[in-house]
Amino acid sequence: MADYVWPVDDPRFKVESFAMGIQPFVQVAPSNFGGGIVTSEIPGARWVAEVAMPDTAKAQGHQQPIEALLAMIRGPANRLIMGHLGHRFPAGTLSGTVLSGGALQGALTMTLIGTGKPAPGDMLTVITADGNQWVMVTRAVEAPGGSDIWFSPPLREAVAASSVVTYLNTTTRWIILPAPVLVEYRFAVNTGVSFRLIEVWN
């Protein structure tokens, strides 16, 4: 298993569209009373994404480098390191070293210690007992010495106090599913390439 980084600064890999959302880990069961539905969320939600390359990739000579990278990744065999391609840079005012105030497994809120505060939609990487986790800020307010934030998805494992929080160039690890990705060549028209990703932690 190897890691391959999506070359965001290479114009040949400029995407046409990027879509991302959370696949929650939720148990759903009918209630024994009143016919309702009972839901219970378990830590372990994952990000999923879909990447589409422009139809002009072949005409511009970009399709072969894309095809080569996908061939190296080989679906779920290897890992793709990639951040949020829809907004690569944070909109908040965090600067310098930012530390976590600590949080328990399943938490959706945390105190950040440092200068400034993130903006809703900013992506952060926090260090949990299970490794790094990529979360999106949903709300942030200034607090003494830093900021209080709300985020999603819930923490898979606890975050230790004073651990470093990354807010610049954050990424996560993905596999391509379903596989394989077929790169089509139509010689009379331009064709694009699209593929779906699911977050993995190992």
Domains of the chain: 3-85+173-200 (no CATH), 95-168 (2.40.30.290)
- Find the mean pLDDT for residues 58-67: 80
Rounded distance, CA 30 to CA 32, Å?
7
Query: How large a percentage of the chain has pLDDT more than 90?
Result: 71
Query: DSSP secondary-structure letter at 177?
Result: -
pTM for this predicted structure: 0.89
Q: How confident is the model at residue 55 (pLDDT cuts 50, 70, 90)?
A: confident
Sequence-ordered strand ranges (E) for the chain: 3-5, 17-23, 26-30, 37-41, 46-52, 79-82, 95-100, 109-115, 123-128, 131-143, 146-152, 172-176, 194-200
pLDDT class of 200 with cuts at 50, 70, 90:
very high
Per-residue pLDDT tens digits for 171-193: 999 999 887 787 777 665 666 78
57 pLDDT higher than 70: no
Locate 67 and state its tokens: 């095809």
34: left (phi over 0), alpha (psi -120 to 50) or beta: left
Least confident of 17-21, 62-66, 97-101: 62-66
What's the confidence (pLDDT) of residue 16? Answer: 92
Q: Who has greater pLDDT, 146 or 54?
A: 146
Average pLDDT, the chain: 91
